[in-house]
Every structure is written in structure tokens, then in C-alpha cells.
Chains A and B, each alone.
Chain A
Amino acid sequence: MNQAKLIKPILICICLLGALLVPVHRLDASSRETIQYALPRLVKIFGAGGVKNLYGYSTGFLVSPEGHIATIWSPVLDTDQLSVVLHDGRRYEAEVLGAEPHLDLAIIKLKSERDLNLPYFNYEEKATAGAGTRILGFSNMFRVATGDEPVSVLHGVIEARTDLPRRRGAFELSYTGDVYVVDAITNNPGAAGGVIMTYDGKLLGMIGKQVRNAKTNTWVNYSLPIDVLSKSIRQIVTGKFESSEDQNEPEPSIVERYKPIDFGLVMVPDVLFRTPAFIDTVLPGSQVAQAGLKPDDLVVFVNDELIKSCKTLKSELGKLEAGDTVRLVVRRENQLVAVELQVPPEKKIKE
């Protein structure tokens, strides 16, 4: 009887312990569980390159049980002998299924006769996260993972999700949308095509190529958000791909319709790399004269775009369309003065 009494609590206890061991739902997962979940879903890719600054290796992540892998669109894929090594050392030949160069995205597929049934990421969840969110970065960086070793893991936080690259020339990137900038040094040789995830297991994005931020002249650690990539991944995997490259209108050639003089502004001679946009003379009777701008005013904003130099002033004014209202902010002594002007009708260019 006594024995039976003792067995019961022990049984209950074992049951409770058992309940603890059942895999928890990933969204409540800890970083450790997230790492265990992610590593089998990442692959090492080996292909072309290996000379100068071109690395012959990169990273990819499985997006289907049949062996579809999303990765970075890079020269590594430009070969007939593309091979992929899984976390457990299994090696497969692979082929490029499709690519979306605008997103730096490529989908490759493992060549296998058999049903693979591999673990994979659900890219359709389209998770997003803000600054300060902890992340884990997974990649084949520096090719330190060899053979059956899984890829490397870094930790950090999201510094910002930002549209900075949209500004022309700020990054040497073809992609022009939002990115996650992170404080972990994720963008290493071979890391492109890896993933960043939240600690609790959400797939956030694909690690991008190594690029410098031309504004700060520093290397930037960024990832392409999965919510941006997911549509193209699905389309390529399902074979219903329409490249946005075809749909995209050709990059509008930059016609500089207007010059400062069209508004009545004569700027100081543009002699330096960054000559500040100081007004030299204001044409009498011109729009800017009527609006009250004066010589020695420094133009600092055109429609909220910071004017860093005579060059940026020219390009910002050049973009305007006839009839637009343009807001100029100048710095006079220690004050900011804002004026609004109507963009004059475009002059006919004489051939």
C-alpha cells in the first residue's frame, strides 16, 4: 500500500518531467533551441571563385523538404559544378533554379534521385522586428566550418531597419529597399546567403554581400528582410517566377530640367569636392529675390533633402517638375529660413 502511495507521485513527477522535454513551440523558444532548430536548415555552398576578392564559397538556407535552397546571387553560383554540403556532411550537386538579381536572391536545388525530406525554414511567416531585437546570425563565414560541421553562429541586436540604401549611391548595392542593420559582424567572406533569426526562432532575413556604406566609409552588416524576399522565393520554388527586372521600368535617365539660375540663384563657384551651396547673387526680380533669399545664404535643404554641396543642390533642383512647389531652407547667420517657390514652366531646350 505504502509502495503504491509512493509510486503515484513519482509517476506524476515523471509525467511532468516528460512534459518539459517535449519540444516547445518555437516562438517561446530560447536562443539555444533556436540554434538547434536552425543549424540543420543551413548549408555551405561551394562553387566558382577563389581568386582575388572573389570567394569560392557562400551560405544558403533550405526552404523546402525537397532541397530548394535560398542563397545570395553571386559569382559563386556561376559554375557547372556547384556543390552543397549539409550540416551533417552530406554533399550534393546543385543547380541554379532561378534568380532575382534585384533582391540579390538566387534559388538553387539539390540534385537527388531520392526523396530527401530535409528540414527547412518557413519563409512564408514573414516575421519582422525592430531596433534592439536580439538576433542570431548563421553563416559559413571564412569557411571555418568544414565537412560535417554546422555553420557558425553570431549574436547581436538589430541596430535599425532602415531605408538608407534607397538613396542613390549611398551603398554599392543593386538592392534598393529596407535592410536590417545589425551590430553583429555578420557580413564576412562567405557569410552572404546565411540568415539572421530572432532569439525566439523567427526567420528575419538573409545576410547580404559585403558592402561599404559610402556615407560613413565603414563596412555595414546588413540582411535583406525575409518579408521582402518571400514572394520571389515562393515564385521560383513553385516555378511561377516573373522577374521584377522585366517589370521594372528602366531606370529613369537623370534629366536635369532645372538649374539654380532658373530660380534666380547664382551659386558660388563649385571648386571643391564639397563646395557648400552658398548663394553668390540673387537675380533682381527673380522668384527667390521676391521670396527674400539673399547672397551669402547657405542652402541646406530642398524639399527635406539635405544639401551637402553645390552638386547636390544642382541634382535636387534638376529633379523638380514644372508646377511643383519646392521648399528651400537656407541658413542665414544662425537661423534657418524657409521659403516656398513654384517651379517655373520648363524651358524648351534648343537643339
Chain B
Amino acid sequence: MTVTRAEYCVIACAEAWRGNGEVLASPMGLIPAVGARLARRTFSPDLLMTDGEALLVGVDGTVEGWLPYRRHLALVTGGRRHVMMGASQIDRYGNQNISCIGDWTRPKRQLLGVRGAPVNTLNNPTSYWVPRHSPRVFVEKVDMVCGVGYDHADGAPHHRIPRVVSDLGVFDFATPDHSMRLASVHPGVTVAQVREATGFDLVVPDEVPYTREPTERELRLIREVIDPQNARSREVGA
């Protein structure tokens, strides 16, 4: 069976929650959601998950708790959460923008707004998911810092950006100055391709591994149980 790019992305997202213990997995976007459910069904069984609204639910949908927005915000600041947010722009230090493109006072394109990115990044681990890796997303400098990057965090006690996953690879900040590093490329992607699609100088180690293969059981779970409609292929094509 050929593993699709979308499935490598699912695996890369799922790995973000490995070893997290009993925390809330907050995936934003379809592939992170499939990844979080996969992690919960396999190597991270203690994860908490929501129904997308105000309920905490088990893998079979059993309600196990109540998490309306006000309690969700307390959970964020309590730190027992790992969110994977989207990013309209992200820079080498992990500053993320979902507010607007251009000058904030009169934006060229108004986007969502800062949402919870400022509180997320100062309180619980925050990873990012970018379905279309391009120099317009991976920019030298974001137009509005919503999610706080390492160069802006000023050593904030709970600030951490575990990983960035795109349709091309996985990135972390495991460098002396916390600038973004290519941690793995998805099979079928070259390092040169990643460099070309990134608008800043990415740290690239001499040896770049491939994103790991899914196990047979994981592939079956993704294809038959979690996403049988193959919605993942609409977020990331072949």
C-alpha cells in the first residue's frame, strides 16, 4: 500500500502529542484532528479531546466532561493542553500571524484576528500546521505577531513551540538561537524543495531524516476508522 502525503502529515501531526500524558489535544484543521485521534487511539491513550464544541469525549463519542469556552481558557492557562494552530504566516523564530496581511492599521487583507494565539503561546505548548508550504506563509517577518515566537517570548516560563508540520516536512526549534530547523522531510520531498518554498534561511542539518512511516495498524485506523471518507486528501493532495 502506498502511503499518501496526507497520511505522512497525519503521522507527523500525531507525533506532536506523543508522551504528552493527560492533557487536552486541541487540533485546528482536519489533518491535525485526524492526527490527534490517531495518537489517542495508539501511543497517547490518556489525551483529552473535545467534540469541537463544549464537551470532552472519548474515542467512541462517550461524553466524559464539560469544557465550555470559559473553562477552556482556564485549561489553557493551567497549561495541561497542547494546541496545534494554523498559521497564515510564520517566521524563523515561530512567530505566527492569523490577524491580517499588510499594515495592521489598514490591512491589505483582514484575516481572523489574534484569537487565542497570544494566551496559547505563553501558557501551553503550541505547535503549528501549514497545509500549503510556501514563501508567502514561511516569511522573513510576520506582519502581526499573534502567536509569540522564541525571539519575542523573553524566556516566558511556559513558552514552548514543539513543532511545525507542513505538507513538506516537520520543523522544530532545536538550534542554539531557537531558529527554525528542518527536522524531517516527508517521503517524496527533497530538501531543496523545502528550501525553495521557505522565505527565510532555514537551518538544515547535514542529514535530514524522512518523516517516519505509519505502522500497518495506524494506516488501517486512519483509512478505515478515523477518516474513512478520505477528507485528508482534500487538505493535502498527492
Q: Do A and B come from one complex?
A: no
Enumerate chain A interface residues (CB-CB to B < 8 A). Answer: none
